[in-house]
């Protein structure tokens, strides 16, 4: 019997069907593999965030320890806050002292504690200090002072700044004011919404230069003493002043400089920012969270919490 004419057509159809099924199967496999990787990524993201939260909690314990020690040794250290104290040293919890870093490679689980009162509190600073900040135009100064002294809406109370980012969006604050330039330090590196007076034991040069009637020589003397024997700020041998009398006795600060320090600055802090950062997969997965901690007596309590999954 001669072969049927449509047999070749059937073979072509079967081959096309097989090709289409192969493509669909490969697509499904790729989708499954992608879902698998996404699931592992999400799991690692959750793990990294849990690590970052744990790092923050460990940092909060450090702040509480400081508060309790200060309370016990009040007559000796007067509750002083300075950068030579143990709390000021960042700590990687995977360095082997707290947790083993076996199998973690170059990943980290680190906490860092910062003094929130090393900046100028936009909600509490004196008007003449506010007017001495170069990055604030006169219009921005008026807007900030009005926000602090007048209700935003009728029948409402004063609405203080809850975050310094709110200053960024005032009408008279430009990008150069916020980020800074070659001639002036940006507002983001000068301001805070926590605490009271500036801590002269932790404040940077740019912040101290904003203090009215505090001379450049006085700022140099303060920072020079704080730097310790190695002459570098932010190292283990940093020092701090016990009180205003200690400043006068140690570096000879007198007159207007000392009065300016007493009016605008302090030597102890009650607000701290604890930041935890964790990574996995060699740094491809990252997470960060932070807490603001308020010290009252021998206690330290969280007043704010923020989480940021940073991704790859």
Examine the domain organization and report whether 80 and 130 are in the same domain: no
Contact 233, 154 (CB under 8 A): no
In a domain, 202, yes or no: yes
- C-alpha 21/C-alpha 14 separation (Å) is 10
Same domain flag for 125 and 228: yes
Specify whether the CB–CB gap between 274 and 293 falls below 8 A. Answer: yes
Q: Residue 84's domain spans which residues?
A: 7-115+270-309
Do both 45 and 142 map to the same domain?
no
State the number of CA atoms in the 13 A half-sphere of 279 facing the CB: 12
Clarify whether residues 145 and 240 are in a common domain. Answer: yes
Same domain, 174 and 287: no
- The pLDDT value recorded for residue 227 is 92
* H or E, element range at 222: helix 216-226
**30 with 156, same domain?**
no
On whether both 139 and 207 belong to a single domain, the answer is: yes
Q: Name the pTM for this structure.
A: 0.82
Backbone phi, psi, residue 300, to 5°: -135, 120
Query: How many domains does the chain fold into?
Result: 2
- Domain match, 98 and 130 both: no
CA angle 125, 126, 130 (to 5 degrees): 75
* Mean pLDDT split into 10-residue runs, the chain, 312 residues: 62 78 76 66 81 91 89 75 91 70 72 95 93 90 87 75 89 88 88 94 95 95 93 88 92 94 94 93 86 89 84 52
pLDDT, residue 97, reads 57
Identify whether residues 69 and 124 lie together within a single domain: no
Q: 233 and 123, same structural domain?
A: yes
pLDDT given for residue 219 in this prediction: 95
For 243, half-sphere exposure in the C-beta direction (CA atoms, 13 angstrom radius) is 7
Report the pLDDT value the prediction gives residue 310, as an integer from 0 to 100. Answer: 66
Residue 2 is assigned to a structural domain of this protein: no
- pLDDT score of 31: 73
Report the CATH number that the domain containing residue 60 is assigned in CATH: 3.30.1300.30
Specify whether 137 is located in the same domain as 277: no
**Does 280 fall in a domain?**
yes
- Kindly give the pairing relationship between strand 271-280 and strand 285-296: antiparallel
The residues, any chain, with a CB within 8 Å of residue 304's CB and separated by 6 or more, are 291, 292
pLDDT at 38: 63
């Amino acid at each position: 019997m001669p072969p049927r004419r449509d047999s070749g057509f059937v073979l072509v159809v079967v081959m096309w069907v097989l090709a289409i099924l192969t493509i669909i199967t490969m697509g499904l496999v790729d989708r499954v593999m992608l879902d698998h990787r996404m699931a592992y990524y999400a799991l690692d993201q959750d793990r990294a965030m849990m690590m970052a939260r744990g790092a923050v909690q460990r940092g909060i314990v450090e702040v509480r320890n400081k508060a309790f020690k200060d309370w016990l040794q009040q007559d000796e250290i007067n509750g002083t806050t300075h950068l030579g104290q143990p709390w000021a040293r960042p700590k990687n919890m995977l360095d082997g002292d707290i947790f083993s870093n076996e199998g973690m490679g170059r990943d980290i689980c680190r906490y860092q504690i910062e003094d929130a009162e090393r900046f100028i509190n936009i909600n509490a600073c004196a008007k003449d200090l506010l007017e001495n900040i170069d990055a604030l135009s006169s219009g921005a100064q008026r807007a900030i002072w009005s926000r602090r002294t007048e209700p935003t809406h009728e029948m409402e109370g004063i609405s203080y700044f809850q975050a310094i980012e709110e200053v960024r969006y005032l009408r008279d604050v430009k990008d150069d004011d916020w980020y800074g330039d070659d001639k002036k330090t940006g507002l983001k590196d000068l301001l805070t919404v926590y605490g009271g007076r500036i801590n002269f034991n932790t404040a940077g040069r740019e912040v101290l230069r904003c203090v009215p009637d505090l001379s450049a020589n006085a700022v140099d003397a303060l920072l020079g003493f704080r730097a310790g024997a190695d002459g570098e700020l932010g190292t283990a041998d940093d020092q701090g002043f016990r009180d205003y009398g200690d400043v006068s006795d140690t570096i000879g600060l007198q007159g207007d400089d000392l009065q300016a320090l007493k009016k605008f600055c302090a030597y102890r802090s009650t607000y701290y920012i604890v930041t935890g950062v964790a990574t996995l997969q060699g740094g491809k997965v990252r997470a960060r969270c932070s807490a603001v901690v308020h010290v009252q007596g021998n206690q330290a309590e969280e007043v704010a919490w923020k989480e940021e999954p940073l991704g790859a």
